Amino acid sequence: MRGFLAIFAVELKSLVRSKSLLAGFVATVLWMWFLPEILTSDGTSDGARELYVKYSLGAVFAAATVAFASAAAGSMALERSRRTLHLALVRPVRIFCIALAKTCASGVAGAALLLVAAAVLLFKCDASRPASRVLDPELEPVSAEARRMYEAYMSDPDTPDEIKKADRSLVIGILKRKAAEHYATIRPGETASWSFPAVPAGAAKASVGFKFATAFSGRYAMKGTLFFADGEKTEIEEFTQETVERDLPQAGKGRGVKISFRNGGSEALLLRPRKDVKIRYSMSGDIFAANLAFAWLELSSLLFLSVSFAVFLGASFGRSVAVFAVLAALFVSVAAPAAVEEYDGEVSAPRMERISSAVSRAVAAAVMPFDAVSPVGDLASDRRIPTGETVAVFAADAALIPLAFAFLSAIAARKRED
């Protein structure tokens, strides 16, 4: 433990005395403080606030990840080239301990930088603003819907031969993404219904939100009636593309909720059940300040994860290769899921495109558990970050995976010395 603390302290001193940490703190405070002055929004104060939260904290997190991951990768490699690593390796301390201490030092410094950003955010925003928990409608799983769509495609004589001959898992994969974005159509006079899990009886405030569209995505003055299970109803008149929010009747709390909508207009309305219908509610203590604390913990954990991977690269390669590999890995881990989301026509694509698409998919699948966590987006949209998610992210990204990478770093460093 003494060895771990000694290396941890030296790493922190290195960051502090190089003035890079101080420069990071100053830049963070300036960015967080003056961003609202240069940010333009759609004019509403809520919109401006959402943009501010998203881009201020999001940018600091991105910059901190790149900076501290590069520093951590360089640190291990630099110590090897300076031979100070040799002097540590001949002492009674395990390389695992050296790698872990370096990870923790860079991770703690990064977390401190994020804490500074969070403190400014707390000062600039309303700390007591409510944050909502979200319930999605109970629908069949995406994979089941995709399989159903697949069977329908295959039995349809108009389906092109190349799709019928394509690999089943490939087509199912495409259909899964389509199912997640699947639009339901509600024609004039038709009624659509959605069942939700129970809203806790102690919920302070609950509402249901919709976002409708039309086939041509224009701003159409839609109207209709919203029915709640207990016979209560409310009329809606709003433009499509706007979020329609209505309070949930008190009677709906504590048990499952069924909500129906009857299209009272003259045009068919479209809506993605998995994305455009939600129940929002708040429990006591669900405020921005608490949500910010959860977001900070998740972001710090993700930073720890990046840093531990960087230390592993630093233990495996020379300084320049390690730093380049870290930057490339961070870029690919961000780009791959976006590329997969944008590009799904690989059934008919040339062979090279299919190969690169498969590589992107493999990377996206590997980073999916981390990519799925979006504390900044949740914080900006006042969505209460689930406690369970934060605990899981912390345990995996700030504890288990860094320990595994420290172990791998020790093996890599020894192999490299030999």
Partner 1 sequence: MSVLAYPVEVSGAAKTFRDFWLRPSVKAVDGVSFTVKSGEVFGLLGPNGSGKSTTIKMILGLLKPTAGDIRVFGAPPRSIEARKRLGYLPELSYLHPFLTPRETLEYYAGLCGLPRREAARRTDELLEMTGLSAVASRAVGTFSKGMARRVSLASALIGKPDLLILDEPTSGLDPVSTAEVKRLVKMLSANGMAILMTSHLLSDAADVMTGFAILDKGRILAAGAVKDLKGTLGEYFLSKVGEGAGFKIAPFLA
Residues that bind partner 1 (CB under 8 A): 2-3, 5-7, 9-10, 13-14, 17-18, 82-84, 86-94, 417-418
**Minimum CB separation from partner 1 for residue 63, in Å?**
23
**Minimum CB separation from partner 1 for residue 298, in Å?**
32
Instruction: Report the distance separating Cα 165 and Cα 173, nearest Å.
Output: 15
Crossing angle for the helix pair 45-82 and 95-124, to the nearest 10 degrees:
160
Tokens (6 digits) for 121: 């955010």
Q: In which residue are the tokens 């531990």 written?
A: 308
| Residue (108 or 376) nearer to partner 1, CB | 108
Q: Coil, helix or strand for 207?
A: strand
| Residue (82 or 148) nearer to partner 1, CB | 82
**Minimum CB separation from partner 1 for residue 97, in Å?**
9
C-alpha triplet 366, 180, 194: angle, nearest 5° = 135
The residues facing 175 across adjacent strands are: none
| Residue (93 or 166) nearer to partner 1, CB | 93
| Residue (164 or 414) nearer to partner 1, CB | 414
Q: Which residues of 376-414 are buried (b: 16+ CB within 10 A; e: fewer)?
A: bebbbebbbbeeeebeebbebbbeebbeebbebbbebbe
**Minimum CB separation from partner 1 for residue 109, in Å?**
15
Q: Are 276 and 270 in contact (CB under 8 A)?
A: no
| Residue (92 or 157) nearer to partner 1, CB | 92
Instruction: Report the distance separating Cα 377 and Cα 382, nearest Å.
Output: 9
**Minimum CB separation from partner 1 for residue 87, in Å?**
6
| Residue (85 or 295) nearer to partner 1, CB | 85
**Minimum CB separation from partner 1 for residue 3, in Å?**
5
